Amino acid sequence: MSVSPPRRGLFSWLDRRYDLAPLAAFLQHKEVPLGVHSIFWYYLGGLTLFFFSVQIATGLLLLVYYQVGEQTSYESIRFITTKVPFGWLVRSMHCWSAHLMIVSLVLHMLSTMMLKAYRTPRELTWITGFALFALALGFGFSGYLLPWNELAFFATAVGTDSVKAVPWIGEWLMHVLRGGPDVSGHTLYRFFALHVVVLPLSVFAVVGLHLLLIQRQGMAPPLGREAPRGMRFFPDFMLRDLLLWLIGLILLATLAVFLPYGPRIPGIEWELGRKANPLAPAYPGIKPEWYFLWVYQLLKEFPPHILGLEGPQAALAVVTVLFAIWALVPFLDRRSRRDEPSPAFTDLGVAAVLFIGFLTLKAWDIGGGKAAQPDPQAVARACAIWAFGAGLVATALRRALWHHAWFLFSAAALLHIALHGLVGMSYLGSGAIAAIAVAAGLGFTRFRAHRTVPAGDRP
Amino acid sequence: MTPLLLALLLAAADQMPEPIRPFLAAKAKDGTPVLSAEDRRKLEEMTDHTRQLVATAADNQILGSAAHLKILLSLDLPAQAMDLVLQDNCILCHSDPGNQKPRALFSPDPAKQGSNPLLDLRELVSDVHFRRGLSCAGCHGGTPQDESMSNDIAKRWPKSEARHQDRSWIPGFCARCHADPAFMRGFNPTLPTDQLAKYQGSRHGILLLQEKDSHAAQCVSCHGVHGIRGPKSRKSTVYSQRIPDTCGGCHANPAFMAGYKTDSGEPMPTMQVAEYKASVHGKALLEKGDLGAPACTGCHGSHAAMPPAVASVAQVCRRCHAQNGALFDGSKHKAAFEQHKWPECGQCHGKHAIEKPTDALIGTAPGTLCADCHAQHAKDNAACSATAEQFRRALDTLAAGRAEVAPREEEMAERGLDVEPLARAMSELDEALVQARSRVHSFELGTFDQAARPGREALEKARQSIAAARSDYRFRKGGLLAAIGFMGLLAAGIVLKLREIDRRRRE
């Protein structure tokens, strides 16, 4: 079904000069595959890009008045939010879109994980997506300090301090990040440069590569479907994309008007408060942004020394291993490479959500009441009840709706949660038991598979 | 474990001066070393000079045993103070449990040793006199080098019965140094030397020195004996937050104060300390930690303590409340109060039990200060009633206005609205309220209104800023609605377009 490019008007004028007909033909022929699952998941990448565009637009507007510096950052943000016409709206939309971008990015990654869209030949698309996720976290971390208020100052001090745990170069790396031994005006300048120059340029490059790979290879068809149905990208998919962006913009504007400083949940709030004072003592209850909370809580779960390592070093090693596993999923998942269902990696995605969700709930001190120092056992119990309940519901739904039968990782995550929160074991002790259970389960699965495959067919 | 520790101690003993080595090898009855590894570390960390002083004391057998050395090490003294202890035979001899009976033994834990609580070794080495090099011999006689009790000590220090029966010797004894400017200059040139002179004229001094009442407070009653600290030390009995209890030790004790009379001949009350602690001054000092708030000595004086006379009590208040005093001095009430011989401030606010004043004290309704006093002493004065009513009305208006606008600040901040104009107006209003309440003491409408008027203006500004913020918020919501409407139309257009595309394809 070929459509002849139009021959009149502006397009014709441009086409004669720049030979746009092949591009138009490409767009008209480009199709988005339709699978058994909702097509909604295909829109999340575009939605993330939309929120990123809002970030760029509002960021540029903030730059018109923002003046970086120990004596000017706080004052200029205050001026923007109180005196500049619609300045409050611009800042609020900038902050909200940053959080919504992370939400849609995480959902996009999870949907890619669940649909196995990362499988051969799209490994590099996954890797570039993971790099974009890391860059988005960098945006959040560097942007947090720029208002130079008390909360940002102390959160950045804690965040940059944790870099010390990196073996051998930790201390040096912290000095490089801070521009000295402490968080100071030098740190502010560095983070500003990162936030408005280095990271945007990096994101443009990686997003460009990510989109190029998608255009070259097309969107991943559903697993096991040789000839999927398709939806034309232009105008059908594009218009639907636009519709979702409009809904996203309405949501963004509504949140910006009614909750201009966020929902006032630790890690999702950006009220300016008091100006940073490096000489003031840090106050309790300082927490990083919500997407770093699980790392923050994991650091707290580790004792000062473990297995010959400093506690933070061990925690950082665990986080690095988890990130590495996540980044290398396309190479680890051999079944999906053969275009076969890989329920283990679906379950790994669910287990990751349970693991991160439980730590995040703990970081919010759910169940701790309003005490300044909540009882850790009460918090662990309440969070375990929520996370365990959610895990059971998810498992039941997976079984009933999608007939899933592989639950080893999610069962281990639930065992970890139950042993720690409901039985009262230490977090690391229960984690070790869960890890042993996973290893035993994997060994048993391999052993059973080995016995059922005839000797001649074994790889 | 124990043999290992012992081996370590013996190995380390080689590096210690010869007289100390037996202490390191000494064992308790259960076979464990008397000196722990921690004690040994302390010995190792000593300067060579201090360690040599330990060795000399051990060689002279005035440092009698490992247990004695352990006691001295447990004090964790800085090097300079440890040197003082090691060169003072009085302290060394009287801190050796093997050499002294409990009644004369200085111990880190007198209760455990059964000795006098005043013989607390930790207190002694914290004493401001000791820290400046003045030790036992300074008061008791003899010299720190004496190896036994000398005649000089016996002569200077009266027998226990005699010195307890008549305490009048104490002020003069302390004044030997503290009233000598030349001597005191060598220690603390800023320390006054007129304490004895003041004390002699104080009520306590008159009782003790003239009436020979040894119940009356003298130097050690307030400052203590061994363990005296400077008044800025939190542990000092004369630190401002501890003064009420120090004075209360006698003045809040009915049995102790029985028989004493006030100037007017009434029995001396003992409720002052309790009343003070519940007062605005007591709460400020003891609960809020405001060291500027007066304790007992703030009004009565310390060494020259006397009850302030009616004529002078108001001047005491003026030391802090100067503006209120000046306004009162220019008011009509000044002459009236003098005529009645009333103690100005105290007449309305009380003495020890001064409460935080409220606007409810002012007005013409029964129960208000103005109405109750005028009902007795200046009835049917229409001008005064009008003034009091105006004061109350104006203060009530400002206070009610403040209560009305204050919660709006947080509400506006939560909505992301500009709270600066409101915060500024609130600050002006608060200042105006403070000033207006103070100017009540002028009892004159014009003076009062100079402060109340800016308050009313600030209140009006606050209300205007709230109205402007509300209008801004309405604009935001309206703008959002319009934007949603516009985007909704766009979305509807897209939906229609998609339907049209689908329909065309089906056709």
Range in A130-134, A218-222, B72-76, B484-488 the model is least confident about: A218-222
**Closest Cβ opposite residue B487 in set A82, A249, A261:** A249
Is the model's pLDDT at A459 over the cut of 50?
no
pLDDT in tens, B394-447: 999 999 999 999 999 999 998 989 999 999 999 999 999 999 999 999 999 999
Q: Establish if B58 belongs to a structural domain.
A: yes
**A292, exposed or middle or buried, with CB in 10 Å at 0-12, 13-18, 19+?**
buried
A258: confidence class by pLDDT, cuts 50, 70, 90: very high
| Predicted pLDDT at A287 | 87
What phi, psi does A268 have (nearest 5°)? -135, 55
Cβ(A187)–Cβ(A179) under 8 Å? yes
Residues A316-365: tens digit of each pLDDT: 999 999 999 999 999 999 999 888 889 999 999 999 999 999 999 999 99
Residues of B in contact with A250 (CB under 8 A): 483-484, 487-488
Backbone angles phi, psi at B70, to 5 degrees: -60, -40
Query: How many Å apart are CA A122 and CA A218, to the nearest integer?
Result: 10
Q: Give me the pLDDT at residue A38, please.
A: 62
Q: Is B477 on the interface with A (CB under 8 A)?
A: yes
Residues of B in contact with A236 (CB under 8 A): 498, 501
C-alpha pair distances (Å), B103 with each of A76, A105, B13, B146: 73, 80, 35, 20
pLDDT band at residue A458 using 50, 70 and 90 as cut-offs? very low
CB-based burial of residue A82 (10 Å sphere; 0-12 exposed, 13-18 middle, 19+ buried)? middle
What six digits make up the tokens of B374? 């005028």
Place of tokens 């001054």: B281
A83 to chain B: which residues are within 8 Å by CB?
418
**Least Cα separation, residue A255 to chain B (angstroms):** 10
In contact, B95 and B62? CB cutoff 8 Å: no
Q: Give start and end residues of each alpha helix (H) in B132-242.
A: 136-140, 151-156, 160-165, 169-178, 181-185, 195-201, 203-205, 219-223
Integer Cα distance of B275 and B33 in angstroms? 56
What is the per-residue pLDDT for B113? 75
Of B115, B133, B153, which one is at a domain's C-terminal end? Answer: B153
Q: What's the half-sphere exposure (Cβ side, CA atoms, 13 Å) at A305?
A: 1
Pairing of strands A31-34, A229-232: antiparallel
Q: CA–CA separation, B143 vs B152, rounded Å?
A: 9
For chain B, report the end-to-end CA distance as a whole number of angstroms: 96
Q: Do B418 and A235 touch (CB under 8 A)?
A: no
Q: CB–CB of A178/A145 below 8 Å?
A: no
- DSSP string for B360-395: GGSSSSTTSHHHHHHHHHSTT-HHHHHHHHHHHHHH
Compute φ and ψ for B120, nearest 5 degrees: -95, 115
Show which of B120, B153, B186 is a domain's final residue.
B153
**CA contacts within 13 A on the Cβ side of A446:** 7
Question: What ipTM does the predicted assembly reach?
Answer: 0.84
**pLDDT tens by residue, A379-405:** 999 999 999 999 999 999 999 998 999
Note whether B415 contacts A260, CB cutoff 8 Å.
yes
Q: Which residues contact A352 (CB under 8 A, 6 or more apart)?
A: A322, A326
The partner residue sitting opposite B480, judged by closest CB among A81, A235, A257, is A257
> How close is the nearest chain B Cα to the Cα of A165, in Å?
33
The partner residue sitting opposite A250, judged by closest CB among B484, B497, B498, is B484
A32 or B276, higher pLDDT = B276
* Residues of A with Cβ-Cβ distance to B414 under 8 angstroms: 261
Geometric angle at alpha carbon A240, from A125 and A204, rounded to 5°: 35
Q: Do B348 and B361 touch, CB atoms closer than 8 A?
A: yes
The more confident residue out of B211 and A224 is B211
Residue A227: what pLDDT? 53
Tokens for B97? Answer: 């449990």
DSSP 8-state secondary structure symbol assigned to residue A281:
P
> Considering only CB atoms, which chain B residues are within 8 Å of A240?
498
If phi > 0 it is left, if psi is from -120 to 50 it is alpha, else beta; for residue A373 that is beta
Token representation of residue B122: 């930790």
* Predicted local confidence at residue A454, as pLDDT: 52
Q: What mean pLDDT comes out for the span A278-295?
A: 88
User: Is B491 close to A246, i.e. CB distance below 8 A?
Assistant: yes
Give the separation between CA A73 and CA A138, rounded to whole angstroms: 20
Residue A1 has pLDDT above 70, yes or no: no
Give the one of A92, A243, A261 whose C-beta lies nearest to B495's C-beta. A243
The pLDDT confidence band at residue A123, using thresholds 50, 70 and 90, is very high
Q: Which amino acid is at B299?
A: C
The pLDDT of residue B2 is 47
Instruction: Indicate yes or no: CB of B494 within 8 angstroms of CB of A271.
Output: no
Residue B177 lies in a domain: no
Cis omega (within 30 of 0) for bond into B454 = no
* Residue A70 CB burial class (10 angstroms; 0-12, 13-18, ≥19): middle
Q: Is residue B49 part of a domain?
A: yes
pLDDT at A456: 43
B10 vs A142, residue with greater confidence:
A142
A229 three-class SS: strand
**DSSP assignment of B409-477, as one string?**
HHHHHHTT---HHHHHHHHHHHHHHHHHHHHGGGT-HHHHHHHHHHHHHHHHHHHHHHHHHHHHHHHHH
Mean pLDDT (chain A) is 91
Determine the pLDDT at residue B181.
Answer: 92
What are the structural domains, with CATH classification, of chain A? 7-286+312-323 (1.20.810.10), 342-448 (no CATH)
Which amino acid type is present at position A49? L
Q: What is the pLDDT of residue A344?
A: 93
**In the structure, what pLDDT confidence band is assigned to residue A302 with cuts at 50, 70 and 90?**
very high
The span from the CA of A31 to the CA of A237, in Å, is: 8
Query: Which chain B residues contact residue A239 at CB under 8 A?
Result: 494, 497-498, 501
Is residue B481 included in any domain, yes or no?
A: yes
Full residue range of the structural domain in which residue B64 is found: 1-153
Query: Phi and psi dihedrals of B118, rounded to 5?
Result: -70, -15
Is B414's Cβ below 8 Å from some Cβ in A?
A: yes
Residue A71 pLDDT > 90, yes or no?
A: yes
3-class SS of residue B16: coil
CB contact under 8 A, B484 and A260: no
The reply to whether B74 falls in a domain is: yes
Interface residue B434 vs chain A (CB under 8 A): no
Q: Within a domain: residue B179?
A: no
Task: With a cut of 50, say whether residue A444 has pLDDT above it.
Answer: yes
Predicted local distance difference test score (pLDDT) of residue A337? 87
- Which residues of A make CB contacts under 8 Å with B? 81-83, 88-89, 92, 235-236, 239-240, 242-243, 246-247, 249-250, 253-254, 257, 260-261, 271
pLDDT value of residue A31: 83
* CB B140, CB B187: distance < 8 Å: no
Residue B322 CA to residue B315 CA, distance in Å, equals 9
**Closest partner residue to B416 among A236, A250, A260, by Cβ?**
A260
Cβ A257–B498 below 8 Å, yes or no? no
Sign of the torsion formed by the C-alpha atoms of B472, B473, B474 and B478: positive
A185-193 and A150-161 are packed helices; what angle lies between their axes, rounded to 10 degrees?
A: 80
Evaluate whether residue B204 is within a structural domain.
no
Which residues in chain A are closer than 8 Å to B413, comparing Cβ atoms? 271
- The secondary structure of B74-107 as a DSSP string is HT---HHHHHHHHT-HHHHHHT-TTTS-GGG--B
What is the per-residue pLDDT for A270?
A: 92
Nearest to B262 by CA among B212, B308, B214, B200: B308
Strand A31-34 versus strand A309-310 pairing type: unpaired
Burial class, B366, CB count within 10 angstroms (exposed 0-12 / middle 13-18 / buried 19+): exposed
Q: Residue B266 half-sphere exposure, CB side, CA atoms within 13 Å?
A: 4
> Which of chain A's residues have a Cβ under 8 Å away from the Cβ of B484?
250, 253-254
Please name the amino acid found at residue B264: S
Amino acid A453: pLDDT: 54
Beta carbons within 8 Å of B394's beta carbon, 6+ residues apart: B436, B448, B449, B452, B455, B456
- Residue B221 resides in a domain: no
Please name every residue paired with A305 in a beta bridge, in sequence order, or none if there are none: A310
- H or E stretch at B15: none
Q: In chain B, how many domains are there?
A: 2
Write down which residue in B110, B127, B153 finishes a domain: B153
> Which pair of structure tokens corresponds to residue B385?
């009633």
CA neighbor of B258 nearest in space, from B269, B272, B247, B246: B269
Select the residue of B420, B479, B491 nearest A82 (Cβ to Cβ): B420
- Give residue A36's pLDDT band: very low, low, confident or very high (50, 70, 90): low
Number of Cβ atoms within 10 Å of the Cβ of A113: 21
Residue A222's pLDDT is 78
Q: Give dist(CA B321, CA B98) in Å, integer.
A: 60
More confident residue, A35 or A13: A13
Rg (CA), chain B: 37
Angle between helices A44-65 and A73-82 (to 10 degrees): 100
Residue A165: the pLDDT is 87
pLDDT value for B273 = 94
Distance CA B273, CA B160 (A): 32
Model confidence pLDDT, tens digit, residues A177-213: 999 999 999 999 999 999 999 999 999 999 999 999 9
Max CA distance (Å), chain A: 78
Q: Tell the residue number behind the tokens 């002694």, with chain if given.
A: B124
Ranges under pLDDT 50 in chain B:
1-2, 4-6, 8-10
Give me the pLDDT at residue A357, please.
Answer: 97
Residue A457: pLDDT band (50, 70, 90) is: very low
